Chains A and B, each alone.
Chain A
Amino acid sequence: MDFSFTQEQELLQKGVREFAEKVVAPRVQEMEETKNAPVDIYKAMGQNGFFAVDIPKKYGGLEMGALARVIILEEISRVSAAVGMATQVFYLGIAPFLEAASEEQKQKYLPSLAKGEKLATVAVTEASGGSDPTGIVTEAKKEGDNYILNGRKIFITNSHEADIITVVARTSQDPLQFSAFIVEKGMPGFKPGRKENKMGFHGCTTGELIFENCIVPVENLIGKEGDGLKIALKAISETGRCGMAGVALGILESCLEEAVKFANERILGGKPISVHQAIQARIADIRIALESSRLLTYRAAWLKEKGMRCDVEFAIAKYYSTEAAVQCAKKTVDIYGGYGVMMEFAAQRLYRDAQLLIPSAGTSDIQMIVIARDSLKKGKK
């Protein structure tokens, strides 16, 4: 096993860290206060090739692989989990094009997605269900050369910034029959709705998408009718969960840095608090959580790059790293004592952001179902 980065991956890490510190960091406070998505940062990321990382070269991409994607998310999220989350969902939006779109669709959409001229997302969840797909009621009726979409999607990341959205809708009476459609901003009958007010990820939009007799040409169907859920689930389980783990790594790294800095600087009773075992134990816990989350996530990304099965590995990485981020953010806040709850310090932001990792791309309970199902199936053999 080789655990070292390639020269390209090392440069990538360095470059993204520099971008995050120079371009993203000065904007974090503003995002916290206004909760506005920094669209100019997304554009700059696009120009710098951040969204091209996983796209094949023939569509203007870089073909750097899933691990490169994790490195980007980790470095961006170390500075801003909100921008990291937005980035991870742009990747999620690109995934159906990589995994299931036709050659014509790839040629039409991937080059502008690679340059970040167009931003993407995926819309599955509705008020009546997300993890339970039978709750999806948005329907698509075929009329001539078009599908007519009606329904509402909620909790959609990048809802207001995405230009290209993969929408899952019912195309049959069968409760588990769905299809995936490419909906573009500006299509008649489509508009973003309300923006949610969240406890964390300020600067990353979560909102509603409204389809009222939205006319989608038949060539915008991805795959065949009935493939919708399979396409969305593959994107969520292999790209979305990978992304959530990447964002969690950034938060964990930030927890470690903030905790160490404060523990060394804070003097109580004439000594830095880092001399106390109770503080040291928390710092050791955060370090252990970071390193183990990294190993799980990098390995799952490596499996994805090798074209091997990786859905359960990503479920494990997602579960472990996001739960670890929540616990470690709490430990970081604890180390800060009273300062931990003050808005001037990053600790409270990490604490609020970490919890938002849990519901996205399947809650921890859903990950446990995936992991348990696979383990029980293996036990039967």
Chain B
Amino acid sequence: MKPLHIIVCVKPVPDFRSPVEFDQKTKTVKRGNVATVINPLDKNALEAALQLKESFGGKVTALSMAPPFAESVLREVLAFGADEAFLLSDPAFAGSDTLATAYVLAQGVKKIRDFDLVITGAASTDGNTAQVGPQVAEHLGLPHASFVTQVKRHSEHSLELTLKTEEGTILAEIDLPALITVSREINEPRTLGLFGIAAAAAKPLHILGSSDLEVDPERVGEKGSPTRIADIREVSFARKSELHEGTPEAISLLVKKFREWGVI
């Protein structure tokens, strides 16, 4: 089997394990003191790419569109085992919605060239739209599959995929080059090793701006983003409870009724 060149799209997201606040004016997450981490599902995407590389040889290239601080996130991706990284960073990209982001990432993929497969996490923990992966594929005219839970090499030029859907699973074959987005179930991402950390410093990490990519300025940033966020708010999961007093008979009657209604 021929080696694979796999591009993994990685998104730096706020670490939601620490308390996060929202900026009601800009309708975004306040990034102030919140640590930035690799979007958890993108770690699964990276792990899937690294496993394919370990099986068939080839190369893993990481790609991200983010502000310059994301360099450290890409360095971490290199430490996990990616061979090269591209950070697409330009003030003009600020405020991009999924459509504009996917467009910029697609232009990045075109710049990297000669790839066999693009892998992304199925969704991000901050936006959670699950749109960017398929949109990148459409921009590039690639066949794509979302929520992949298993990936196998089917032939020289195709993969066998298991996809999770709400109704069940789909077994599919996809021709390469292709784009897939992966679910959490696909693998258990490895932990960072010290050999990888030491090697990361010497690996190529390129920072590209809009002048390095062929991008139409009308299609990026706020200008290129038709999405408008109407509202952003914290959802409280506190259970509602009411306290009532009654005789044991009344309580058993109520429990019986609840059972009939299928409440409990």
Residues of A within 8 A of B76 (CB): 11, 14
What sequence of 0s and 1s flags, for each residue 55-91 of chain A, a beta carbon within 8 Å of any chain B beta carbon?
0000000101000000000000000000000000000
Closest residue of chain A to B72, judged by CB?
A7
B261 at the interface (CB under 8 A from A): no
B200 at the interface (CB under 8 A from A): yes
Are A62 and B72 interface neighbours, CB within 8 A?
A: no
With A7-B72, A7-B75 known as contacts, the answer to whether A12 contacts B194 (CB < 8 A) is yes
Closest residue of chain B to A61, judged by CB?
B198
Are B75 and A14 interface neighbours, CB within 8 A?
A: no
Are B193 and A14 interface neighbours, CB within 8 A?
A: no
Most A-side CB within 10 Å, residue of B76, B198, B200, B201: B198
With A14-B76, A15-B79 known as contacts, the answer to whether A8 contacts B201 (CB < 8 A) is yes
Query: Considering the chains assembled together, what is the distance between the CA atoms of A287 and B253 in angstroms?
Result: 56
B191 at the interface (CB under 8 A from A): yes
Q: Which of A7, A22, A48 contacts B195 (CB 8 A)?
A: A48
Closest residue of chain A to B75, judged by CB?
A7
B residues 179-201 near A (Cβ < 8 Å) are 191-198, 200-201
Residues of A within 8 A of B197 (CB): 8, 11-12, 15, 49
With A19-B191, A19-B192 known as contacts, the answer to whether A49 contacts B198 (CB < 8 A) is yes
Query: Considering the chains assembled together, what is the distance between the CA atoms of A11 and B74 in angstroms?
Result: 11
Query: Considering the chains assembled together, what is the distance between the CA atoms of A52 and B197 in angstroms?
Result: 12
With A8-B201, A11-B79, A15-B79 known as contacts, the answer to whether A62 contacts B192 (CB < 8 A) is no
Closest residue of chain A to B190, judged by CB?
A48
Residues of B within 8 A of A48 (CB): 191-195
With A11-B75, A11-B200, A14-B76 known as contacts, the answer to whether A52 contacts B194 (CB < 8 A) is yes
Query: Considering the chains assembled together, what is the distance between the CA atoms of A53 and B194 in angstroms?
Result: 8
Residues of B within 8 A of A64 (CB): 194, 198
Are B193 and A47 interface neighbours, CB within 8 A?
A: yes
Query: Considering the chains assembled together, what is the distance between the CA atoms of A11 and B201 in angstroms?
Result: 11
A23 at the interface (CB under 8 A from B): yes
Residues of B within 8 A of A196 (CB): none
Residues of B within 8 A of A10 (CB): 72
Main secondary structure of the interface of B (DSSP, over half): helix
Are A62 and B198 interface neighbours, CB within 8 A?
A: yes
What sequence of 0s and 1s flags, for each residue 279-291 of chain A, a beta carbon within 8 Å of any chain B beta carbon?
0000000000000
A18 at the interface (CB under 8 A from B): yes
Q: How many residues of B contact A (CB 8 A)?
A: 14
Are A11 and B192 interface neighbours, CB within 8 A?
A: yes
A319 at the interface (CB under 8 A from B): no
Query: Considering the chains assembled together, what is the distance between the CA atoms of A12 and B193 in angstroms?
Result: 8
Residues of B within 8 A of A53 (CB): 194
Closest residue of chain A to B192, judged by CB?
A15
Closest residue of chain B to A6, judged by CB?
B201
By size class, the interface of chain A is 20 to 34
Most B-side CB within 10 Å, residue of A11, A19, A23, A62: A11
Residues of A within 8 A of B193 (CB): 15, 47-49
Query: Considering the chains assembled together, what is the distance between the CA atoms of A16 and B197 in angstroms?
Result: 11
A97 at the interface (CB under 8 A from B): no
Are A50 and B191 interface neighbours, CB within 8 A?
A: no
Query: Considering the chains assembled together, what is the distance between the CA atoms of A53 and B195 in angstroms?
Result: 9
Closest residue of chain B to A48, judged by CB?
B193
B residues 73-128 near A (Cβ < 8 Å) are 75-76, 79
Residues of A within 8 A of B198 (CB): 8, 49, 62, 64
Closest residue of chain B to A63, judged by CB?
B198
Are B194 and A62 interface neighbours, CB within 8 A?
A: yes
Residues of A within 8 A of B75 (CB): 7, 11
Query: Considering the chains assembled together, what is the distance between the CA atoms of A64 and B197 in angstroms?
Result: 10
Residues of B within 8 A of A50 (CB): 194
Are A23 and B191 interface neighbours, CB within 8 A?
A: yes
Query: Considering the chains assembled together, what is the distance between the CA atoms of A64 and B79 in angstroms?
Result: 15
Closest residue of chain B to A114, judged by CB?
B195
Interchain nearest-CB distance for A87 vs B (Å): 12
Query: Considering the chains assembled together, what is the distance between the CA atoms of A16 and B196 in angstroms?
Result: 12
Closest residue of chain A to B188, judged by CB?
A22
What sequence of 0s and 1s flags, for each residue 1-31 of chain A, a beta carbon within 8 Å of any chain B beta carbon?
0000001101110111011001100000000
Interchain nearest-CB distance for B196 vs A (Å): 8
Query: Considering the chains assembled together, what is the distance between the CA atoms of A53 and B198 in angstroms?
Result: 9
Closest residue of chain B to A57, judged by CB?
B198
Closest residue of chain A to B199, judged by CB?
A62
Residues of A within 8 A of B192 (CB): 11, 14-16, 18-19, 48
Query: Considering the chains assembled together, what is the distance between the CA atoms of A16 and B193 in angstroms?
Result: 8
What sequence of 0s and 1s flags, for each residue 154-196 of chain A, a beta carbon within 8 Å of any chain B beta carbon?
0000000000000000000000000000000000000000000
Residues of A within 8 A of B194 (CB): 12, 15, 48-50, 52-53, 62, 64
The 4 A-B pairs of least Cβ separation, nearest first, read: A15-B192, A49-B194, A48-B193, A49-B195
Interface residue ranges, A against B (CB under 8 Å): 7-8, 10-12, 14-16, 18-19, 22-23, 47-50, 52-53, 62, 64
Interface residue ranges, B against A (CB under 8 Å): 72, 75-76, 79, 191-198, 200-201
Known: A11-B197, A15-B79. 18 other contacts (CB 8 A): A7-B75, A8-B197, A8-B198, A11-B72, A11-B75, A11-B200, A14-B192, A15-B193, A19-B191, A19-B192, A23-B191, A48-B193, A48-B195, A49-B195, A49-B197, A49-B198, A50-B194, A62-B198
